[in-house]
Amino acid sequence: MMTTATAESLLAFWADAGVDAMLLDAPVDRIAAGRIAPPQLQARKAAPAVAPVAARANQPDVSEAIAQASALAAQADSLEALVAAVSAFDGCPLKFEGAASQAVVYRGDPNAALMVIGEGPGQEEDLQGQPFVGRAGQLLDRMLAAAGLTGRVLITNTVFWRPPGNRTPTSAEQAVCAPFVERAIALVKPRMLLLAGGASANSILKKDEGILSLRGRWFEWRSNDGSLEIPALPTLHPAFLLRQPAAKRRAWADLLILTERLDRLDRPA
C-alpha cells in the first residue's frame, strides 16, 4: 500500500515535470455525454461554482506571519544576522512539522555573482544545517564546477525548514519565508539568479507554469520595493535530474547559457 510520504514524493516529481492534468485510458465524448447527462449529474455540475469560495475560506491566513517576517528581515544587516532572524522566526509551520534540526538558510560565497534558489531542505540538509548537501546537492556542485562557477555561488531555498516527507512546500509556506529570501538577495546582490525546480521558479517569479515550460527562459526578478532588478533563469531541479538522467542535457544547456552571460558581464568593457 502506498504511504502518504510516497504519494507526496510522487506528486512532487510530476509537479516538477510540469504535469498539471491526467488523461483517462479511453477517450470520452464530453459533448455527447452532456446531452444525455441524468438530472443528478446536472445537479452536481453546479456544486463546483461554490467550491472555490469554500476552498479560499479554508486557506491559512499568513498575513500576520508575513508582516513579522518582513520586520525581522528588514533589521538584518548581514547574512549572519539574517540567519539569526530566520532561526528566531516561529511563523512558518514547517519549523514545527518537518524540521528535526536547525533552520537551513544558505551556504556559499556571501559576495556571490550567482545565487541558486531551490525549493526546500531535505533530510540531509535538515541534519547538516546547509542547503543542497545530499545527493541532489552533490550533483549540483558537480555541474557548477564543470561550468566554472565554483566559489562564485551562494545557495539557498524558498523555505528554510524541511517539509514533511520531503514534499513540495506550499505557496503559503513560501510566502511566509519570502521576505527572508528577498533580504538575502538584497544583501548578496548577485548578478543573476538560478531557480532550481518548478516550486522555486513559481514562487520567485510569481508564475504558475510548469518547469519544463519555464526552464531555459530569462526573466527579470524585481524586489517588492523596486530597488533591485536581477536576471533570473529557471532550470530543472537536481533531484529531478537524478530521477530522469536523460534531462541532464537540458539542465546543462541552461547552465551554459547562464555562465556565458555571467562571464560576459564580468569581462572588462
Nine-digit cell string for 234:
529557471
pLDDT of 42 higher than 50: no
pLDDT of 198 higher than 50: yes
Q: With bands split at pLDDT 50, 70 and 90, how would you rate the model's confidence at 101? A: confident
Give per-residue pLDDT as tens, 222-269.
Answer: 999 999 999 999 999 999 999 999 999 999 999 999 999 999 987 655
Question: SS3 sequence, 97-118?
Answer: HCCCCCCCCCEECCCCCEEEEE
Nine-digit cell string for 82:
539574517
- pLDDT more than 90, % of the chain: 72
* 57/32: higher pLDDT: 32
Q: With bands split at pLDDT 50, 70 and 90, how would you rate the model's confidence at 25? A: low
- Using CA atoms, how far residue 31 sits from 22, 27, 92, in Å, is 19, 12, 46
Helix (H) or strand (E) holding 168: none
CA 20 – CA 172 distance, rounded (Å): 19
Instruction: Quote the pTM value.
Output: 0.78
* 37/13: higher pLDDT: 13
Each domain of the chain, given as residue ranges in start order, spans 63-266
Rounded to the nearest 5°, which phi and psi values hold at 154?
Answer: -120, 135
Nine-digit cell string for 93:
509551520
Give per-residue pLDDT as tens, 171-190.
Answer: 999 999 999 999 999 999 99
| Ranges assigned E (strand) in 77-164 | 107-108, 114-118, 153-157
pLDDT of 56 higher than 70: no
CATH class of 63-266: alpha beta
| Ranges assigned E (strand) in the chain | 107-108, 114-118, 153-157, 192-196, 219-222, 229-235
* 41/158: higher pLDDT: 158
Q: What is the pLDDT of residue 265?
A: 81
Cα 108 versus chain centre, distance: 18
CA-based diameter of the chain, in Å? Answer: 73
* 45/153: higher pLDDT: 153
Nine-digit cell string for 105:
538558510
Cα 155 versus chain centre, distance: 12
Nine-digit cell string for 259:
555562465
